[in-house]
Structure 1
Amino acid sequence: MRKPLSVAPLVALLVAGLAGCSAIGPQPTEWVADTSQGAVYLSWTSTDGKLSGNESSSSENNYVVSTSSAPFTGTESDGKVTLDFGSALMSEAFTGKISNTDLHLTGTNSNGTVELDFKPGTVTQFKAAVAKEQDAATAAQTKAAIAAAQHQYDGAVAQLAPAVDAAQTALDTEQAALATEKQAMAVYASQVATAVSSGCSNSDASNAATGPEQGPPGDAAYALQTATDGLSKAASALTDAINAVNPPPSKIAATVSQATLSADSDLASRATTAAQQDGALASSDNSGIFTQGNKVWNLPYC
């Protein structure tokens, strides 16, 4: 005898199929698009195919991410959607296709055609996307700041060697002028002493006492003063160059050794000291020329 055909397995399959269809449910009313230009959040209510909602979007300016919102209206029918944003940041109208899992919109703005792909999402997800965008902007700002500091540091390093050379040259020039000035003043003092001891002024003593504009000692004192002025400027420039590279900016590796900087600082210190001391000597000797000269000028001519 044949057994009757059981319909239970077939009924079970039909029930499962109907359950699967009911799982599709209504279309989402919240959408999030996370693009390279920023995040966009859409939320709407639908009444007989007519949509009314709000759009929020993010934008970055000078490494700061901000958000703005604007209302919109639209329509939805048979998987097609049209959204009108009016004076919002996006174009006035976007059209596209909608399903339970995707929303694709196409529109235009000042940059041309814009396409946005949305996924069902919440305002919390939108805020998370904005926070992620701000993190990326902050990282970019840090990277740019490091690059700028690196560029400035490299430029300062490039100026250090010329500043060292200039300071050394100025110091050599000043030391030569100092030696010349000391010799000229010694000769001048000797000539004045000879004239004073003889009780009369001869031509050598008279010529030596003609003053800083004409006499050899005055010329030497003036040359020394000029050299110390140049040395002072060179020493100051070297000090500035050293300070520009030491210490290096944060997160910038030093390319100039501390030994080099120590030697350069020593040169700047010696140059500064020489400029101050020898400049004062030149000024004192320049004034002393007249004091010594008076001893000769008041003597009768031999």
Structure 2
Amino acid sequence: MEVATIVDEENNKYAFKRYNGHPFTLDVVGNVRDQLDKIAQRNIKEDDVLVCVFPKSGTHWLYNTVMMLRSGSLTYHGTPTMMEFQDFNDIEEMQSPRTFGSHLRFRFLPDQMKLGKGKIVTITRNPKDIVVSMYHMLQKLTKFVGYQGTFEGYLKYFLSEEHFVSSWFSWIQDLEKWKSPYCLSLSYEDFRKNTFANVVKLAQFLEVDHDEDFLRSVTQNIQFDKLKELHNIQNPASDRWKEICEEGRLPIYWKGQSGDWKNMFTVAQSEMFDRVYKEKVAKLGLKIKFE
């Protein structure tokens, strides 16, 4: 494993961990190889649920929906324990039924999940909106955690194969190859438009039995503005984040909108994105569609 730092011609800086040809965020615990080995060998229980989502695609939105459905409680459940960012024992010590998260590509998930043990839920989002949301989050961090530079620079970086989280295109390719009845993939845009229908779909997939009144209450309690407010009020400060963000609380909620990229992208940037998007989607044989 190596820590790579790249400075482009416009003095934008990129930093990430590189292992076996793949980029990983600096926040992956310790040596990437060792952490990936622990994740691959993790003991998965039949009632485990993994929320595996590319960053800024609705991770916390989906996680809190899953937690409300699984717990039968409308309480805000905060941030998921992420396999790659937390100590190995953090998940081992969780009581069943366990719900935890990851931003990793599907190829790096636990071997037992590849064999159909446990369940996975994910959500995909228009990558142009991901770019905008991620950039604004990075701007709010008080210490360098992967990118320093302009929006133009970040946009180009996002489209590269060494984006510090992962290439979004490679991440989606892994998802499309993951053919399993134990994985439910939702659409961010459809979730916004048809929230109740997606809550019902999630409840059925998770095999939880709730009446319509409760499911409609969940729908009301996972509205973006409400989750954002609860995050700012209830989410305790963490020593893990205090050095990189205000009050030790990650700025994970931006606007929660679809199409906000139109307020940020120039015409030239949109055309550049569309060109690269078309080339990579064709090259990888992806079947994705976004609004």
TM norm structure 2: 0.20
Question: Higher strand fraction: Structure 1 or Structure 2?
Answer: 1
Structure ID, larger Rg: 1
Question: Higher helix fraction: Structure 1 or Structure 2?
Answer: 1
Higher relative contact order (CA 8 A, sep 6+): 2
